[in-house]
Amino acid sequence: MRRSIPLVAAALGAALTLAACGGGDTDTEDTGAATEETGGAGDGGTLTVWVDETRQAAVESAAAAFEEETGTTVETVLKNFDDIRADFLAQVPTGEGPDLTVGASDWLGEFTTNGVVAPVELGDLAGDFEEIAIEAWTYDGQIYGLPYAIENIAIIRNTALADSTPATFDEMIAQGRAAGTTYPFLVQVGEDGDPYTMYPFQTSFGAEVFAQDAEGAYLPELELGGEPGTAFAQWLKAQADAGVLSTSMTYDIAVEAFKNGESPYILGGPWMLSTFEGMDLAVDPIPSAGGEPARPFSGVPGFYVNAQSDNQLIASDFLTGYMATEEAQVALYEAGNRLPALTAAADVASEDPLTAGFRVVAEDALPSPALPEMGAVWSFWGATEAGIISGSIEPVAGWEKMVTDIQAAIDAAS
């Protein structure tokens, strides 16, 4: 469940690139370390896959068909998703780790910098996926895995309290106040800030985090500063003064308030929907606060291939032949409620109007940057937004200092 910004990036350390050795003790009994054994099932060998609880059943179903048809034994190792990134970085350079792992697309820059993942040749199959999914898994012109889902935030609306979501933020707040509920609109902030969730409002001011080239690839050039950035910072303060934004509004408080009918609108993702079961809902585009389109980040979960694996060809065959099928991707959707990355599966999932609503927003979303430099951004970004909202940081000076501090951290790590 994504509740806020990718705090894992900050938790992994201030350095932009983790040390390849990992430094800690490794328990190979429950990490599913890949070995050089190749006699697991007939002549097919053994493939080890790290999965989390949400994806386990869908992966094992595809693995059963793969085992039957190829003679390869597929061993799935259950991992806490929050542990996978650091464990994979630590174990692969030592010859440990799985042949394949589930993961997030925004780990890609760090993984390629550390040389722990191998490209996957999709060929014509790439055209069967949603465009943003392939963009998210492409780095330096190569595709480094198989995407299976697309996740982004949107406005979730209680249709009993509001019959539409207006095109502008101010109109939405006015309509929310007219509903007579406790809150006109709910969005999590928290004491640490939440730039992931606030990003669509920031992009509506034209202040994206990094520059992009003509093909949409991110460049390590900050775009947070200048007049667009400071205009957004001033907007944050104005919304705090108006009682719309507060650092006391956490994820749990916001979700519970929406569940209890205390607001017609909440900004959130598909991971919230199970909490709202039984409510009459709609999913709508995010209103613009700054005049330009409000474009959220789009995360694209998928599967990586271990660059040190002796089974890369088998791993690629499993991904392209068995995890890239409509059946497998629909199964993953049913397990996690995320829009499938494979277009045919996305069409099936979009028969649900809520999924269709998230898909509409995804069409204009921005892939979460996979640049290693992104590791220097999150903590400064969140703390500054929270400080502006709480009143402890002056908007313009504070935002400009944040940009300077982020650039200094990037320069120090390069």
Q: Give the tens place of pLDDT for each residue, 104-130.
A: 999 999 999 999 999 999 999 999 999
Distance of alpha carbon 262 from its chain centroid, rounded? 28
C-alpha–C-alpha distance, residues 78 and 93, integer Å: 21
C-alpha–C-alpha distance, residues 46 and 373, integer Å: 36
Q: Is the pLDDT of residue 12 over 60?
A: no
**150 forms bridges with which residues in the sheet?**
339
C-alpha–C-alpha distance, residues 405 and 318, integer Å: 44
**DSSP code of 369?**
P
- In the chain, what percentage of residues exceed pLDDT 90? 85
Please indicate whether residue 45 or residue 235 has the higher confidence score (pLDDT): 235
Can you give the pTM of this predicted structure?
A: 0.87
Those residues whose C-beta lies under 8 Å from the C-beta of residue 130, and which sit 6 or more positions away, are 150, 339, 341, 342, 343, 346, 362
Domains and CATH numbers, the chain: 7-151+298-367 (3.40.190.10), 152-297+371-413 (3.40.190.10)
| pLDDT tens digit sequence for 153-182 | 999 999 999 999 999 999 999 999 999 999
The letter for the amino acid at 332 is L
**Of 99, 48, 46, 51, the residue nearest 73 (C-alpha):** 46
User: Token pair of 414, please?
Assistant: 């390069």
Please indicate whether residue 213 or residue 393 has the higher confidence score (pLDDT): 393
Summary mean pLDDT of the chain? 90
Continuous segment of H or E residues that includes residue 313? helix 312-318
